């Protein structure tokens, strides 16, 4: 199910299912983002955990974080946006009522990185589209552009997107409100790409997905079986090294996640320049996925080396690669 697109007057509910914003630059950015979103005409509800660090490596206890999210989903808000990523959102899944969410009016949930634990499961368990895109703190810019603008426009119903000319390898860490430092030209590596391909988009952060695999929250085989139009997996890695990326992909492959596959979109990993005993970030992927005989586009604008294109989990889209860029057209 696709939630309703939002308007400039939409009510937004901010939640912290992983980290809270209590340190620099995250705290300053979130306060500024709240100001900016209100200036645009939005009504905001700031969840009780957003500026907390009461849990272990988290905003609050798993139960309290899940409670905040469930209250947000049952509220009259039009959209829920996570304030940021983190490390242990995985803990809250035991306390999320996915069956109850199925019965509620669908809402957009937007988040990135550790938020895969909800963007992915809300789609595969509750059959609701989500957006893997900019967290609330990223909306601090006075003028939205690049991935932040694209996330905002996606919420409003925009259907055509393209990648960006460069990416940021060395961000300015001295100014919490610094613009992107586009210091590196991107180079997309295509593998077996011949023509545009289509399917239902599904994916997120590989670090998180490998932890979901084989748990009670893994219903990927059932989900992909129900989509005869085929699946396009988009994946990006954060903390995994090149060998870790290969191991994670092997685990998903052996768990039949990639049946009914139509193609793969692979983001720039943080270990983009790493090589270990002959394994690099490109062959770690290709060696595992090449047997599917489907197109693979590597080092696209996706991941923790900004900017990162937003993706709609559960949405049918057509992917085109040309002139070292990626173009996504949603149905």
Co-location of 154 and 175 in the same domain: no
Co-location of 154 and 38 in the same domain: yes
66-88: pLDDT as tens digits: 999 999 999 999 999 999 999 99
Residue 148 has a pLDDT of: 97
Co-location of 142 and 19 in the same domain: yes
Co-location of 186 and 283 in the same domain: yes
Residue 178 has a pLDDT of: 92
Q: Show which of 136, 158, 180 is a domain's final residue.
A: 158
Co-location of 84 and 194 in the same domain: no
Banded pLDDT at 60 (limits 50, 70, 90): very high
For residue 92, pLDDT beyond 90:
yes
161-212: pLDDT as tens digits: 999 999 999 998 899 999 999 999 999 999 999 999 999 999 999 999 999 9
Residue 246 forms part of a structural domain: yes
- d(C-alpha 70, C-alpha 96), whole Å: 7
Residue 216 forms part of a structural domain: yes
Rounded to the nearest integer, the mean pLDDT of the chain is: 97
Residue 278 forms part of a structural domain: yes
Co-location of 305 and 202 in the same domain: yes
For residue 62, pLDDT beyond 90:
yes
Residue 18 forms part of a structural domain: yes
CATH number, residue 183? 3.50.30.60
Task: Read off the pLDDT of each residue in 147-153 and give the average, rounded to a whole number.
Answer: 98
Co-location of 145 and 197 in the same domain: no
Residue 277 forms part of a structural domain: yes
For residue 36, pLDDT beyond 90:
yes
- d(C-alpha 112, C-alpha 292), whole Å: 27
Residue 210 forms part of a structural domain: yes
Co-location of 36 and 143 in the same domain: yes
Residue 23 has a pLDDT of: 96
- DSSP per position, 15-56: E-SS--S-STTHHHHHHHHHHHHHHTT-EEEE-TTTT---BT
Cβ neighbors of 77 (< 8 A, separation 6 or more) are 11, 12, 13, 45, 107
For the chain, how are helix, strand and coil distributed in percent, rounded to 5? 30, 25, 45
Banded pLDDT at 54 (limits 50, 70, 90): very high
Q: Show which of 158, 181, 198 is a domain's final residue.
A: 158
Residue 50 has a pLDDT of: 98
Residue 24 has a pLDDT of: 95
Co-location of 235 and 319 in the same domain: yes
Our count of domains for the chain comes to 2
- Please report which helix (H) or strand (E) contains residue 202, including its range: strand 197-205
Co-location of 257 and 154 in the same domain: no
Residue 3 forms part of a structural domain: no
Co-location of 133 and 184 in the same domain: no
Residue 4 forms part of a structural domain: no
Co-location of 114 and 203 in the same domain: no
256-273: pLDDT as tens digits: 999 999 999 999 999 999
- d(C-alpha 243, C-alpha 229), whole Å: 32
Share of the chain above pLDDT 70, in %: 100
Query: Residue 156's closest CA among 323, 10, 325?
Result: 10
* 246 three-class SS: helix
Q: Show which of 142, 158, 174 is a domain's final residue.
A: 158
Residue 173 has a pLDDT of: 87
* Domain that residue 182 falls in: 166-330
CATH number, residue 120? 3.40.50.10740
């Amino acid at each position: 199910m696709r939630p309703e697109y939002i308007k400039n007057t939409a009510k937004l509910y901010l939640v912290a299912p992983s980290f809270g914003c209590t340190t620099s630059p995250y705290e300053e950015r979130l306060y500024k983002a709240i100001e900016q979103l209100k200036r645009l005409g939005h009504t905001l509800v700031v969840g009780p955990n957003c500026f907390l660090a009461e849990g272990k490596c988290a905003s609050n206890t798993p139960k309290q974080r899940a409670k905040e999210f469930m209250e947000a989903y049952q509220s009259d808000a039009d959209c829920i946006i996570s304030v940021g990523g983190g490390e242990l959102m995985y803990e809250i899944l035991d306390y999320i009522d996915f069956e109850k969410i199925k019965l509620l009016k669908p809402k957009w949930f937007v988040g990135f990185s550790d938020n895969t634990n909800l963007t992915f499961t809300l789609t595969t368990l509750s059959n609701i589209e989500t957006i893997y895109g900019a967290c609330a703190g990223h909306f601090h810019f006075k003028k939205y552009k690049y991935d932040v603008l694209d996330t905002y426009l996606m919420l409003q119903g925009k259907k055509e997107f393209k990648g960006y000319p460069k990416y940021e390898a060395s961000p300015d860490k001295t100014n919490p409100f610094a613009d992107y430092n586009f210091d590196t030209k991107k180079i997309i590596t295509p593998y077996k790409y011949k023509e545009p391909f289509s399917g239902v988009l599904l994916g997120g952060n590989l670090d998180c997905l490998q932890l979901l695999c084989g748990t009670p929250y893994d219903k990927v085989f059932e989900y992909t079986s129900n989509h005869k139009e085929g699946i396009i997996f988009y994946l990006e890695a954060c903390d995994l090294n090149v060998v870790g990326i290969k191991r994670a992909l092997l685990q998903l492959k052996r768990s039949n996640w990639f049946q009914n596959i139509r193609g793969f979109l692979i983001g720039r990993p943080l270990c983009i320049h790493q090589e270990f005993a002959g394994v690099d970030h490109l062959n770690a992927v290709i060696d595992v996925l090449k047997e599917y005989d489907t197109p693979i586009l590597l080092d696209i604008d996706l991941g923790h080396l900004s900017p990162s294109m937003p993706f709609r989990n559960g949405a049918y889209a057509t992917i085109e690669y040309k002139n070292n860029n990626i173009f996504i057209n949603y149905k």
